[in-house]
Chain A
Amino acid sequence: MEAILVLEDGCVFEGQSFGAEGEKIGRVVFHTGMVGYQELMTDPACRGLLLTMAYPLMGNYGINNQGYESPVAQAEALIVKECSRIYSNWLARESLQDFMKKNNVVGIEGIDTRALVVHLRDNGEMSGIVSTKDFNVENLKEKIKASWCEEKNLIQEVTSSEPVFWQAPEHISCRVALVDLGAANSLFHNLYKANCQVIRLPARASAADILALNPDGIIFSAGPEDLKSLHKIVEKVKNLLGEKPLLGISSGNLLLALALGAKIKQMKCGHRGVNQPVRSLKTGSVAITLQNHCFVIDETSICRDDIEVSEVNMNDESIEVIRSKNYPALGVQYIPGDFDAFLKECK
């Protein structure tokens, strides 16, 4: 069966369908990791995205129980060079195709994904549509335009509906309230490993609700880069500044920056991959990080009296870590592997 991808600028890629059939509109992004398609597709931060995998061979190890970042697929569509007809790994429970069918993720394969990646790199991420039923390019372009008028609240779609008390570790070192803006399972695992007891709260939880739990610290998780929705909760964050130590991760970092008075800007092309090098301005030490974002803090909007930039991206000098000079608040643009700096504040 045929499938087609049309970008908002009129670029067309024709390929074959795999996974679910149908039509999906969203932001077309590319990811350069060579493994991890399952983690990515189920990561709430990928909600609404049409995900292009730069590595051409997908589905080789199928879908397994370990790889869920959330119980369902979040990406709208998967764009690949070749999806393997078989999977071969002892952990696998089902094929990528079957998983996508069940989760209504539309797939297109057999296209020159490198050409698409280079196009997005040179022209920036943009909207697109993948379809297995309508092949009229003009129609499809219209549909993209029409989608821009739709009001979507991606954070609302992925946040937990009720507060959840996450399983407590044996030796609790810290109790944190986690405002779920689209948190991935691995975040909970990592916090558990760091001996944190986590209370997962819906994005709508008010400052008073959060403080009523009397946590040692508050985390704003990563999630979809839905700026409109983020702007709606900036006031809440402002109210929490100084009350408890705060940590913002990825889109949570953007939220924190807004609360601290900084501005957000869009990069031409997102940082989405497993190999983004980051340098500490204090120690000069460097680290390779996992990232999945295309908005960053606008460095020109930062008031140096209020905010200290402590880490930057080595390749493009974009801001990776900020600290408030007035409150205990830390923002990290990448997906952190440990929480030591934040947990120190919490004690």
Chain B
Amino acid sequence: MPKRTDIEKILIVGSGPIVIGQACEFDYSGSQACKALREEGYHIILVNSNPATIMTDPEMADRTYIEPLTPEFVEKIIEKERPDAILPTLGGQTGLNITYFLKEKGVLDKFNVEAIGASTEAIARAESRKLFKDTMQSIGLAVPKSGLAYSTEEGFLLAEKIDFPLILRPAFTLGGTGGSIVYNREELKVFLKRALDFSPVHQVLIEESVIGWKEIEFEIMRDCKDNIIIVCSMENIDPMGVHTGDSAVVAPAQTLSTTEYNNLVDSSKKIIRAIGITGGGANIQYAVNPDNGDVKVIEVNPRVSRSSALASKATGFPIARVAAKLAVGLSLDEIRNDITGKTYAFFEPTLDYCVFKICRFAFEKFPGADPILGTSMKAVGEAMAIGRTFKEALQKGIRSTEADRYGFGADGKDISEEEQRNMEEIRKKLIYPNAERFFYIRYALQQGMEIDDIYKLTRIDRWFIHNMKEIVELENLLHTHSLATITPKLLRQAKEYGFSDIQLAYILRCKEEQVREKRMSAGIEAVYKLVDTCAGEVNPDKPYFYSTYETIDESRARRKKKVIVLGGGPNRIGQGIEFDYCCCHAAFVLREEGYEPIMINCNPETVSTDYDTSDRLYFEPLTREDVLNIIDKEKPDGIIVQFGGQTPLNLAIPLKEAGVKILGTSPESIDRTEDRKRFRVLLKKLNLLQAEGSTATSVFEARKIARKIEYPVLVRPSYVLGGRAMELVYDEGELNEFMQKAVKASPEHPVLIDKFLEDAIEVDVDCVSDANQAVICGIMEHIEEAGIHSGDSACAIPPYTLSKDIQELMKQNTYLLARELKVKGLMNVQYAVKNDRVYVLEVNPRASRTIPYVSKATGVPWAKVATKVMLGKSLKELGILKEVEVKHFAIKEAVFPFNRFPGVDTVLGPEMKSTGEVMGIDESFGVAFMKSQIAAGQNVPLKGNVFVSVKDKDKRAIIFIVKKLVDLGFSIVATSGTAEVLRKSGIEVQNVFKIGEGRPDVMDLVKNGEISLIINTPSGKKKMKQDEAKIRSEAVFQYIPVITTISGAQATVNGIEAAIKKGFQVKALQDYYEKGDRPLFL
């Protein structure tokens, strides 16, 4: 069927900030959809609050709105743009929910907007538990026994009908938030209460548990002519009970017999018909009983998902692109298969390799968080590896996570031998799923535990454990050799089993380089195979590769001008989509400039691993060995390491030593800024101010330095990203505590101790430089004061309190640094401003996390400019001679995963904790700030009770803020100290007990929903700290915004005022930028 001509304008809804459960896979799917639909000639309107996305690049859509993703804002956009259709299936749960609510509210009907891709009826059949159950039963498929509870009493009634253990699933939450498994009545009482609190509609599904069953997923698509294809089957290695987003996954399914597989295919076809998808895809999750093959349908997602992104990268079949085309009425047989270039989308991909996905966790960032994996997703990112065997894919996958492991153990990073013999601990780790579970399987195997026994404890299929055992057996054989005695045959087998050179160096007791030399001289080199969607049946057009150790190499490297871009690997806190954005832009520019862009990355969620982004894609781990192997084949003219965050930057020196040409700023300059000692020398040379500080290599030395520069001090290990293990230390006791942890965190590098600049304003400055000249991209004034990690604080472009002189001084300092470091490309400098003095905190001669945000705020694609500079263009040639002045405000706000980690303190500090960001943009600062808060999911109230409790130092500053709140109609609640100060200034205050002073105390008020906003600046005292943490933690669960800084409170009050007085308007990015007066979108 030809595409629809009755619609012209289509609104695409994005998924907003990166949070646990919804990451950049939706940028990948959304950008694909934009491209696919514009190709067909449609007018695209896009809304997404996340500025770090490729999809919000102004050239991706005709109209781009960076506005909060709420039904209210989307309604305003609909009213303004009058789209004919809305495409809700590409923006994750957020996009789906918004569309559903807009339909319920009558907005879609009012403006005559049709939901395409999945009708609101289809969404309801998949999302509403009741309708879903009925639909499945009507086609003869089983679902787990379940019932809905709105109260604890109802829960207990249900528990009499369904056997324990029970799964609790709160309604309308994302990625299993607030869900849990309960084994007895006591746990039911506790966890059901929590689950009910989590659900915005206080509804919890109580479900029969199928814990320990196999979890199988199918990606399926259907068009308007009822053509159906199965894109991919996937098997979760972790059994039911571990959220699929946390599970390790293989594609295709490995342990299903033909009969079982075919039955699931048939069921999937029935399901997609019954749900009623007539132009799109779905993800279907099944539980399969490994003992008798019983099947239950667990869930259907009538949209693209994290799994569909994985399936797309695993097979080469672009699900989102095809889904977008199906949504406008095209059928599968009318869409070309881009990978082969010869066949159509109407066919089922086949694989001739094994795909392994493994998650990246961030428990180290959240002390006190429960590290056991369950029904609520906790992973912050994922890596995918491709191998010809499961063993190879497993080992590549583990080293792809960049969690400092280089394969399935045996890399010198295992727990001590004594610990490895602690069977009790091993058993515990096998029973309770955790991030290190595979390593514990290895320890168990090493201790001689039988496959069957491990299976009984983990319920991980015997086939997977058997493969792990084969790796262990080979490892044990390798241990009997040394570098001198190992035969080429055995060495080759080790490489076929996925062992990295680092592992082999550890096992053979030599250096990584020696292993490499040995195998190169024996001719044991990686070969590259194609991902072609058809298992070799057709010669493909798109060069999408993975490495393996076999005979024939298909990489067909071309003799062209080419540049390798190193990606950022799996998302983690501190390194996420922002860096992927920069890598993609680098690839786009390379292509424009006549170079062949070659991408190396292993993150399946990203746009950079779309085969369309670069000319050649290598889906490979970002380790020295894997990157060098590719360089050997491709012999590139240069390599770009400054866009992918810390991962590629850490490779800069090893790669340079191996003779690779690093484009842009030299590794030598990078080292001058990363090595704190050299950094001090650099600043001294340039006469720039720096907080007092020094480097310590022992606890004794640290104490001495701290005493000299006086507490509070900022301590951290050198060479870290996202402020890992950085802490603000107030006294010697805390310092001792930190030193024990820190030395462990980074054994090769010393600890840095700096004077902490209290109450300073922190400023980020990004600049681009061609080594002769530098131009400022943007000056970002942080809303929170210095001491909070820059990735976690809100910030504003342009600065809203800094004087022109101070700004000018920062510019001059930045130019100075750029010139001295001969920066070629991007550089980020962090300053602290205190008493009109400008201190340099940090210099990063690479793309920073803020580049996409600055680009969206200023309308200049800075990563592209930087790439051109790296290729040898001067800023003058590019016409970039002066700073961009913006007439609006763009506020960036961070988004945190605290609701995933119950009990963890939400207070911010020097260690980064946010997973994502949003941007609010408007002509007024207040409105822009308010938009950023709404977009970040902060439930900022326009009326109600405000609880105020601030430390003594802040008591003066808070008066003005509270006065304004009272003027705006708020009531104030405060504990005795703060209340007294406020009352003295003539403010009406209601007193409330602190925790432990009497009841009802402030905690009671928070729990009862009587507080709508909390302003609480942490006092630093221990007992107080604990109580405050409890309040903040509770507030997060009640969706009550908590402000922990005076400057944050100030901005919020400005925002509330603006919202009340001015209201909100929406405006497309394209309308903010004036064409002509600046080099737009090079």
* Interface, chain A (partner B; CB < 8 A): 30, 32-36, 38-39, 54-57, 60-62, 64, 66-67, 81-82, 84-92, 112-115, 117-118, 121-122, 269, 273-277, 279, 285-288, 314-315
Would A121 and B463 count as touching, CB distance under 8 A? no
Alpha-carbon gap, A285 to B252, bound state (A): 28
Cβ distance B156 to chain A, nearest Cβ, rounded Å = 35
Tell me which of B225, B255, B347 contacts A60 (CB under 8 A). Answer: B255
A sample of 5 inter-chain contacts (CB < 8 A) reads A55-B352, A55-B535, A61-B257, A277-B346, A315-B347
Q: How far is the CB of B892 from chain A (nearest CB, A)?
A: 45
Candidates B343, B348, B349, B536; contact of A114 at CB < 8 Å: B536
Interface presence of B1081 (CB below 8 A): no
The stretch of B191-199, B288-296, B320-328, B809-817 that contacts the partner chain: B288-296
Which of A91, A114, A115, A315 counts the most chain B CB atoms within 10 A?
A: A114
- Is residue B354 within 8 Å, beta carbon to beta carbon, of the partner chain? yes
Q: Which residues of B lie under 8 Å from residue A115 when comparing CB positions?
A: 550-552
CB atoms of A277 and B258 under 8 A apart:
no
Among residues of A, the one whose C-beta sits closest to the C-beta of B536 is A117
Asked if B539 CB lies within 8 Å of chain A CBs, one says yes
A315 to B535, CA, bound (A): 15
Please report B residues at the A interface, Cβ cutoff 8 Å: 225, 227, 229, 252, 254-261, 290-293, 331-333, 342-344, 346-354, 388-390, 451, 461-463, 466, 470, 529, 534-539, 550-552, 554
Bound-complex Cα distance A88 to B352 (A): 21
Asked if B227 and A286 sit within 8 Å, CB to CB, the answer is yes
**Residue of B259, B389, B461 contacting most chain A CB atoms (<10 Å):** B259
CA distance A338 to B252 in the complex (A): 27
Asked if A64 and B333 sit within 8 Å, CB to CB, the answer is: no
Residue of A whose beta carbon sits closest to that of B352: A54
Closest to B225 in A: A285
Q: Which of A32, A62, A92 makes the CB contact (< 8 A) with B535?
A: A32
Of chain A, the residue at the smallest CB distance from B223 is A286
Chain A residues whose CB sits within 8 angstroms of the CB of B292 once the complex forms: 90
The one of A67, A112, A273, A288 that contacts B259, using a Cβ cutoff of 8 Å:
A67
- Docked-complex contact B347 and A82, CB < 8 angstroms: no
Known A-B contacts A32-B534, A57-B390, A67-B257; A288 and B350 likewise in contact (beta carbons under 8 Å): no
B254 and A64 form a contact (CB under 8 A): no
The answer to whether B333 and A277 touch across the interface, beta carbons within 8 angstroms, is: yes
A residues less than 8 Å from B535 (CB atoms) = 32, 54-55, 117, 273
* Bound CA–CA A119/B451 (angstroms): 39
With most chain B CB atoms within 10 A of its CB, the pick from A34, A55, A67, A81 is A34
Contacts of A56 in B (CB 8 A): 352-354, 388-389
Interchain CB contact under 8 A, A315 and B342: yes
Contact B466 A274 (CB under 8 A): no
A84 vs B254: C-alpha distance when bound (angstroms): 11
CA distance A62 to B256 in the complex (A): 10
Report A171 CB to chain B, min CB distance, Å.
21
Minimum CB–CB distance from A134 to chain B (whole Å) comes to 22
Q: In the docked arrangement, what's the CA distance between A315 and B340, Å?
A: 11
Note all chain B residues with C-beta closer than 8 A to A30.
536
- In contact, B352 and A315 (Cβ under 8 angstroms): no
State A318–B746 Cα separation when bound (angstroms). Answer: 64
CB within 8 Å for A273 and B537 given contacts A88-B462, A112-B550: yes
Residue contact A315 to B343, C-beta cutoff 8 Å: yes
CA distance A247 to B886 in the complex (A): 75
Q: Which residues of A contact B550 (CB under 8 A)?
A: 112, 114-115
Assuming the A-B contacts A35-B258, A86-B466, A115-B551, are A288 and B348 also in contact, with contact meaning beta carbons closer than 8 angstroms in the complex?
A: yes
- Tell me whether B258 and A38 are in contact (CB under 8 A): yes
Per DSSP, chain B at the interface is loop
B339 to chain A, nearest CB (A): 13
Q: A274, B388: Cβ atoms under 8 Å?
A: no
Q: Looking across the interface, which residue of chain A has its beta carbon closest to that of B493?
A: A110
Cβ-closest chain A residue relative to B349: A275
Which residues of A are found within 8 Å of B552, using beta-carbon distances?
A: 112, 114-115, 118
Instruction: Verify B259–A64 contact, CB threshold 8 A.
Output: yes
Measured CA separation A56–B393 after assembly (Å):
12
Output the nearest chain B residue to A31 by Cβ-Cβ distance: B535
Are B389 and A39 interface neighbours, CB within 8 A?
A: no
In the bound complex, what is the Cα–Cα distance between A287 and B552 (angstroms)? 34
Q: How far is the CB of A298 from chain B (nearest CB, A)?
A: 22
A57 touches B255 (CB 8 A): no
Bound-state CA distance A287–B333 (Å) is 9
Which residues of chain A are near B344, meaning CB under 8 Å? Answer: 277, 314-315
Chain A residues in 8 Å Cβ range of B229: 288
Q: Which of B256, B349, B537 contacts A61, CB < 8 Å?
A: B256
B225 adjacent to A86 (CB under 8 Å): no
Does A54 lie within 8 Å of B350, measured CB to CB?
Answer: yes
Q: B258: which A residues are within 8 A, CB to CB?
A: 35-36, 38-39, 61, 66-67
B252 contacts A34, CB within 8 Å? yes
CB distance from A205 to the nearest CB of B (A): 32
Residue of B nearest to A119 (CB): B552
Please, how many angstroms separate the alpha-carbon atoms of A286 and B343 in the complex? 13
For B466, give the chain A residue with the smallest CB separation. A86
Most chain B CB within a 10 A radius of its CB, from A38, A82, A121, A274 = A82
Given the complex of chains A and B, what is the CA–CA distance between A33 and B258 in angstroms? Answer: 10
Is there an interface contact between B461 and A88, defined as CB atoms closer than 8 Å? yes
Q: Which 9 A-B pairs have the closest CB atoms?
A: A115-B552, A117-B536, A54-B535, A88-B463, A112-B550, A275-B348, A32-B535, A61-B257, A286-B333
Q: How far is the CA of A30 from the CA of B554 in the complex (A)?
A: 19
**CA of A121 to CA of B463 in the docked complex: distance in angstroms?**
32
Tell me, rounded to whole Å, the shortest Cβ–Cβ distance linking B214 to chain A: 10
Is B466 within 8 A of A84, CB to CB? yes
For A118, what are the chain B residues with a Cβ–Cβ distance below 8 Å? 536, 552, 554
Known contacts A61-B255, A67-B257; A314 and B352 CB within 8 A of each other: no
Evaluate contact between B390 and A121: CB separation under 8 angstroms. Answer: no
Query: In the complex, which residue of chain B has the Cβ closest to the Cβ of A40?
Result: B258
Query: Would you call B352 and A92 a contact (CB within 8 A)?
Result: no
Q: Which residues of chain B are within 8 angstroms of A64 by Cβ–Cβ distance?
A: 257, 259
B-side contacts of A87, CB under 8 Å: 463
Q: Would you call A288 and B346 a contact (CB within 8 A)?
A: yes
Query: In whole angstroms, what is the CA distance A91 to B263 when docked?
Result: 14
Shortest beta-carbon distance from B593 to chain A in Å:
33
A36 / chain B contacts, CB cutoff of 8 Å: 258
Hey, which chain B residues are within 8 Å of A92, CB to CB?
Answer: 257
Cα distance, A117 to B529, chains bound together (Å): 12
**Contact between A286 and B332, CB atoms less than 8 A apart:** yes
* In the bound complex, CA of A265 to CA of B291 (Å): 48
In the bound complex, what is the Cα–Cα distance between A55 and B290 (angstroms)?
23
- Kindly state the separation between the CA atoms of A276 and B331 in the bound complex, as whole angstroms: 17
Complexed CA–CA distance, A84 and B332 (Å): 36
| Contact flag A57-B354 (CB < 8 Å), given A30-B536, A121-B536 | yes
Decide yes or no: A66 and B254 within 8 Å by CB, A57-B390, A86-B463, A113-B352 being known contacts. no
A88-B462, A314-B346 known; A114 vs B255 contact (CB < 8 Å): no
Chain B residue nearest in CB terms to A85: B466
Residue of B nearest to A274 (CB): B348
Tell me which of B333, B343, B350, B554 contacts A32 (CB under 8 A): B350
Residues of chain B within 8 A (CB-CB) of A287 are 227
What is the bound-complex CA distance between A55 and B258, given in angstroms?
A: 14
A35-B261 in contact given A54-B536, A56-B353, A61-B255 (Cβ < 8 Å): yes
Q: Which residues of B contact A61 (CB under 8 A)?
A: 255-258
Q: How near does chain A come to B390, taking the closest CB pair, in angstroms?
A: 6
Distance (Å) between the CB of B950 and the closest chain A CB? 61
Give Cα distance in the complex from A122 to B332, angstroms.
27
Name the B residues within 8 Å of A38 (CB-CB).
258
Q: Which residue of B lies closest to A286 (CB)?
A: B333
B348 touches A89 (CB 8 A): no
Measured CB to CB, the nearest residue on chain B to A270 is B537
Distance A164 CA – B535 CA, assembled complex (angstroms): 39
Least CB separation from B549: chain A residue: A112
Residues of A within 8 A of B225 (CB): 285-286
Are the CB atoms of A91 and B347 closer together than 8 Å?
no
Say whether B466 contacts A34, CB under 8 Å: no
Q: How far is the CA of A61 from the CA of B252 in the complex (A)?
A: 13
